[in-house]
Amino acid sequence: MPVTPISDINVSVLEVPFDKPIQSALGRYVGSDWVVVEMRAEDVVGYGYSMSLDRRGTKAVVSYIENELAPMANGQDAAAPEAVWQTMFAPNKARLRGGVGVHALSAVDTASWDVAARLAGVSLNRMIGGYAQTADVYGSGGWLSLSDEELVAEAQRHAANGITNYKLKIGGARDQARVGLLRREMGDDFTLYVDANQNFNVREAVAASAWLADFGVAWLEEPVLADSPMDMEAVSAESAIPIAAGENAYFRWGFRDLVERQAVTYLQPDIGRCGGVTEWIKIAHLADSYNLDLTSHLLHELSVGLIAAFPSGHAVEYMNFFKDNPFTQDFSVVDGKIAVPDVPGHGVEFDPAAHKKYRV
């Protein structure tokens, strides 16, 4: 069988400013950064992404791709993305313990799968599973920086778009008042999730779960330090509501640890930092095997096709930072769902005007 070698990898950075700063228990953010990987194999181009809210560390991710990963990936068979992943991972194990290195690997690996699916002439969703062609979404936001009026208005905007699940931040001084306000304003049929952003210790998290249960909250996300799965396990054993986590877990092994500890009910990989599509597939199989629900963290445009590909797919986190659609495909929410793009690859590509507008 002829080999289609990867011939070129280019990296760019897009900065997307917010209208005003947003705040969680982790910090204050003024915009998001996208690292965009463009991979070429003959006349086929695929794209991969990593995205962060803190706008720090982007230069390090770009440097890691350009100086470490791209030279390894170039010349490899574009139709064999798992082999490309292993080529990059094997000599980098010591430096791929998390953080910058995995952000870089995730973006390159996603581009590799995009190229492979385009070469095959199928959508990435169908290549890796194809279970469904739409995915439910849940609205996400509820920042601590929002006033009560802004908080309710954001939830109502989602509801008007057919989204009946909404996640807000906790870890501030008025947590119970804000959750209670939303429950009163949105009614009992509107599902609420909360994200503590690692703000509690075990005792505080278990105590919070009790009053959250009184308001019918459906999950408590990242209640304790993500680097301490034993603490997550301890919370889950005593919590009055299910636990969600995974945005800060790396590779299949980090997720396996959470699963085997019975620390979570909802697995939340971030395609821009979990190790890429190669690892997402393995994480999804873990969710399927243990009858857990698979959700996503950020990057809903990429995540919709990945969530929909597997029976364990529960919902995509929907947090849209763009006033106008910057992509060549439509990722609009219709009746609470996003459709998987019916194109070869994953379908996430910035149009030239948007790429030029946000590029730095």
The rounded distance, in Å, linking the Cα atoms of 279 and 103 is: 12
Domains 8-122 and 126-348 share a fold: no
* Residue partners of 204: CB distance under 8 A and separation at least 6: none
Would you state the pLDDT for residue 22? 87
- State the amino acid at position 294 in one-letter form: L
Q: Amino acid identity, residue 277?
A: V
Sequence ranges of the domains in the chain: 8-122, 126-348
**pTM (2 d.p.):** 0.95
What's the pLDDT at 233? Answer: 98
Tokens of 234: 């301890």
* Strand, coil or helix: 236: helix
List C-alpha distances in Å: 230 to 227, 242, 260, 304.
9, 16, 11, 30
Tell me the per-residue pLDDT of 121-135, one tens digit each, with 9 for 90 and over: 999 999 999 999 999
Q: Which amino acid is at 58?
A: T
Chain segment 269-326, per-residue pLDDT in tens: 999 999 999 999 999 999 999 999 999 999 999 999 999 999 999 999 999 989 899 9
The beta-strand segments (E) located in 236-312 are 243-245, 266-267, 293-295
- Which segments of the chain does DSSP mark as H helices, in order? 58-64, 70-73, 81-89, 100-120, 124-128, 148-160, 175-186, 202-214, 229-238, 251-260, 277-289, 300-308, 352-358
Residue 130 structure tokens: 């194809």
**Cα–Cα distance for residue pair 282/288, rounded to 1 Å:** 10
What's residue 1's pLDDT?
Answer: 64
324-336, pLDDT tens digit by residue?
Answer: 999 999 999 999 9
Contacts of 136 (CB under 8 A, 6+ apart): 165, 314, 315, 316, 336, 337
Q: Are 275 and 105 in contact (CB under 8 A)?
A: yes
CB atoms closer than 10 angstroms to residue 207: 14
Report the CATH architecture of 8-122.
Answer: 2-Layer Sandwich (3.30)
> Which parts of the chain have pLDDT scores under 50?
none
Q: Strands, E, within the chain: which ranges? A: 8-23, 28-41, 44-52, 134-140, 165-169, 191-195, 219-221, 243-245, 266-267, 293-295, 313-318, 337-339
For residue 17, how many other CB atoms are within 10 A of its CB?
A: 12
Q: Whole-angstrom Cα distance, residue 83 to residue 346?
A: 19
The domain 126-348 belongs to what CATH superfamily?
Enolase-like C-terminal domain (3.20.20.120)
